[in-house]
Amino acid sequence: MTAPPEPFTAVQRRTLEAVLAVILPSTSGPGAREAGAVDYVVDVLGKKPQAVTVEQLRQFLDAAQADPDAVLSGLEGDRAPAAQEMFVTLRALAWEGYLCDPGRLGNRDAVGWTRLGFEGPTKRRGHAVPPA
Amino acid sequence: VITAEPADVCVVGMGAAGGTIAAELARRGLDVVAIESGPDHRSALPERDFHDDEVAHIVERRLLSNEPEAMVLSGRRLRDTPWLARNTGVGGPLVWSGFAYRFHPSDFRVASECGVPDGSSVADWPVSYDDLAPWYTRAEQLFGVDAGNPLPWGRSGALFADAARRCGLHPYRPPAAILQRDAGERLACNRCGQCTYYGCSRGAKASTLVTALRGVSLRVHAHCTAVEVCTDRGGMARAVRYLDVQGNAVEQPARTVVLAANAPYVARLLLLSRSRAHPHGAGNGSDQVGRHLTFHTGVMAWGVFDEVLDSVEGPQPHGGVDDYNESRPYRDGAAFRRGGVLHGGMPAAFTGGPLAFARALDVSIPLPDGVPRYGDGLLRFAAHAYLRHMAVYGLGEDLPRPDNRVVLDDTLRDRHGLPALRIEYTPHPDDVAQKQFLVARAEELLLSAGAHTVASDAPELPAGMFAGHAHGTTRMGTDPATSVADDSGRVHGVDNLFVAGAGLFVTSAGLNPALTIVALALRSVDAIAATAPRPGTPR
């Protein structure tokens, strides 16, 4: 099996990483950047369709390149359905890249799980009968 | 069209109702063929297929059907999307929380209790609580409900219960089909917290996979979609036509046909089954198929506390309050006739797991005032609140209306090119008043419990839609002019065609439906078996 084609240019990818870091910054602890959320997002965009198309994302990233902070702030305040769809999709993807199973490329070293206090799926801990 | 080997009984849909009925009939020696649009989870490996991956279950909704549906809410058409949460695959219920309630006796006679409110089609059920009681007992035995060993209170549940008592209410641990001790092949719950939206890799949470279907031999056609009930000149069922995994049309002849898919999809299949004998669809001679659709009203409030709680650990049924259910608030002067249950100590995302929680913030979980929609403030809030929150969810009775219904859509098509389902729903005025009442009670309970931050939501859309609680559309009753089937599920005028599942519900009750679905299914088995005697026995 060959890997799906890379959906973004190197510049677009850097912008995407910056946008994800605006949504979940590293100000007070590990954020999207430390979790490698961009790796998850790029991988998942190549595999399954999202509420916004890759082409729409490319256009957004090109526009966001110079000032991701300002563009995201404008997007949040824009009530147009397409803008809200983009905002909600980007935020969902950021959380997925931050909190997914580390086997899915994001949540590197489980930094997202650790920050929220999640110890990892207990189903993998085997067979424990809880106290009655 | 390929014609398959005839069977005694063909069952469409292998969830809670279909799996229960198919297994019981097979145990009686009948030759049963089942048709299921989803995968056959009987061959699933729990560790591989029922794992804990949140992206697979929360984002991709792996165990739910993803056919788009049209939705008309109070006259406004919303976007086409899979609105109904419905289980897919052999062995349901899989995507459920394990609440295993008996309905109240009054839930079977709402018209007698409080009349027929204007604009509603409230009616009594053709069965009473007493009729169903022995079947509830059998369903509880099958599912291992509490098994003499009710759930212990966790920290969240105890906090909720203490608050409820301070408010003069009567909290309880909800009945759960979740084992607390190992029993045979089923292992005890390990409190992983990922119940709703997941299959249970331990078999602690009941499904027909680990109960009725164990050790039963059935022919199951998985990944096959039933598209028509074929009838003979006299209008009796003779076969089910389905599309197999390659898209070939196949006819499965059977003496008796049982439709046990998700309720609105049973109605759709009947509406698709037009013939000379049934020009408006099978069983639709009096224009009742699809009508009297009910969900549950849903409200939620959630609060953040200083201390670490355990709402995100399982099992999901942490605590309940039933003081506002049935007609109790009405008798105390409230403006709505039927109330609902409050469940507290719950995870705000209705399931454990950090991604489910964080991804739902600002989507299905309202953000408290002052929390930004992105940035460091959001991340810090999520990191604090994940382990320190609990929600109170209200699940209320949804009064039936004749025009709340499902029909075939004019334009939207499913992946086979057939008319997709259109849901038409307008809340009854009682439902609106009831939601405002329940959400206020939920907020009070959280503040009484000591939450320092509370946010709430009482959405216009009936939340039961997203919980798999769709009822009615093939209503049961004694009068063919106002119902589709009799109290065994037999379609009026088509003696060898049965419907099963929540579609038979006359009213929705203000409680989770799973145990009532299974009890009704068990009760119908004798009537179904009588129409399809074993070969060689006189009919």
Question: What are B111-162's pLDDT values in tens digits?
Answer: 999 999 999 999 999 999 999 999 999 999 999 997 656 677 889 999 999 9
* Residue among B54, B191, B308 whose CB faces A122 most closely: B191
* Residue among B149, B375, B387 whose CB faces A25 most closely: B375
Q: Do B190 and A123 make contact, defined as CB atoms within 8 angstroms?
A: yes
Contacts of B193 in chain A (CB under 8 A): 122
Is pLDDT of A1 > 60? Answer: no
What's the whole-number mean pLDDT along residues B75-102? 93
Give the pLDDT of residue B436: 98
Contact between B249 and B2 under an 8 Å Cβ cutoff? The reply is yes
| Percent of chain A at pLDDT exceeding 90 | 79
Give the pLDDT of residue A63: 97
Who wins on pLDDT, B196 or B412?
B412
Whole-angstrom Cα distance, residue B451 to residue B389? 8
What's the whole-number mean pLDDT along residues B232-239? 97
pLDDT band at residue B79 under the 50/70/90 scheme: very high
What is residue A49's DSSP assignment?
A: -
Give the pLDDT of residue B201: 83
Whole-angstrom Cα distance, residue B280 to residue A9? 56
Q: Do B379 and A48 make contact, defined as CB atoms within 8 angstroms?
A: no
Give the pLDDT of residue B514: 97
- pLDDT tens readout for residues B437-453: 999 999 999 999 999 99
Contacts of A88 in chain B (CB under 8 A): 363
pLDDT band at residue A128 under the 50/70/90 scheme: very low
What's the whole-number mean pLDDT along residues B81-85? 94
Give the pLDDT of residue B43: 77
Distance from CA of B248 to the nearest CA of A (A): 27
Cut 0.90: pTM above it: yes
Is pLDDT of B320 > 80? Answer: yes
pLDDT band at residue A126 under the 50/70/90 scheme: very low
Instruction: Find which of B363, B379, B389 to mutate to test the A interface (most A CBs within 10 Å of its CB).
Output: B379
Nearest-by-CA chain A residue for B186: A127
Distances in Å between the alpha carbon of B487 and those of B227, B236, B290, B474? Answer: 25, 19, 17, 11
Give the pLDDT of residue A130: 32
Q: Do B386 and A99 make contact, defined as CB atoms within 8 angstroms?
A: no
Residues 80-109 in A contacting B (C-alpha not used; CB under 8 Å): 87-88, 91-92, 95-96, 98-101, 104
Residues 33-62 in A contacting B (C-alpha not used; CB under 8 Å): 44, 48
Give the pLDDT of residue A129: 32
Whole-angstrom Cα distance, residue B317 to residue B100? 10
ipTM: 0.94
Nearest-by-CA chain B residue for A116: B383
Whole-angstrom Cα distance, residue B13 to residue B91? 10
Contact between B438 and B90 under an 8 Å Cβ cutoff? The reply is no
What's the whole-number mean pLDDT along residues B338-361? 97
* Residue among A44, A76, A132 whose CB faces B374 most closely: A76
What's the whole-number mean pLDDT along residues B323-330? 98
Give me the total of CB pairs closer than 8 Å, taking one residue from chain A and one from chain B: 108
Is pLDDT of A76 > 60? Answer: yes
Is pLDDT of B363 > 90? Answer: yes
| Percent of chain B at pLDDT exceeding 70 | 97
Give the pLDDT of residue B116: 97
Whole-angstrom Cα distance, residue B158 to residue B179? 20
SS (H, E, C) B450-490: CCCEEEEECCCCCHHHHHCCCECCCCECCCCCCCCECCCCE
Contacts of B383 in chain A (CB under 8 A): 29, 115-117
Is pLDDT of B337 > 90? Answer: yes
Mean pLDDT (chain A) is 89
What's the whole-number mean pLDDT along residues A109-120? 94
CA-based torsion, B67, B287, B499, B317: positive or negative: positive
What's the whole-number mean pLDDT along residues B19-41? 96
Q: Do B359 and A95 make contact, defined as CB atoms within 8 angstroms?
A: yes
**Window from A126-130, B184-188, B290-294, B331-335 with minimum mean pLDDT:** A126-130
List helix spans (H) across B32-82.
Answer: 46-49, 54
Whole-angstrom Cα distance, residue B448 to residue B471? 34
Give the pLDDT of residue B345: 96
Q: Do B60 and A48 make contact, defined as CB atoms within 8 angstroms?
A: yes
Query: B251: burial class by Cβ within 10 Å (0-12, 13-18, 19+)?
Result: middle
Q: Please name the residues in contact with A77: beta carbons below 8 A apart, sequence gap of 6 or more.
A: none
Tokens of B516: 């009532």
Contacts of A122 in chain B (CB under 8 A): 190-193
pLDDT band at residue A127 under the 50/70/90 scheme: very low
Give the pLDDT of residue B146: 77
Tokens of B278: 């049934």
Is pLDDT of B539 > 70? Answer: no
pLDDT band at residue B38 under the 50/70/90 scheme: very high
| Phi and psi torsions of B340, nearest 5° | -165, 175
Contact between B509 and B103 under an 8 Å Cβ cutoff? The reply is yes
Mean pLDDT (chain B) is 94
Who wins on pLDDT, B83 or A127?
B83
Tokens of A109: 């070293």
What's the whole-number mean pLDDT along residues B183-211? 88
What's the whole-number mean pLDDT along residues B84-94? 90
pLDDT band at residue B217 under the 50/70/90 scheme: confident
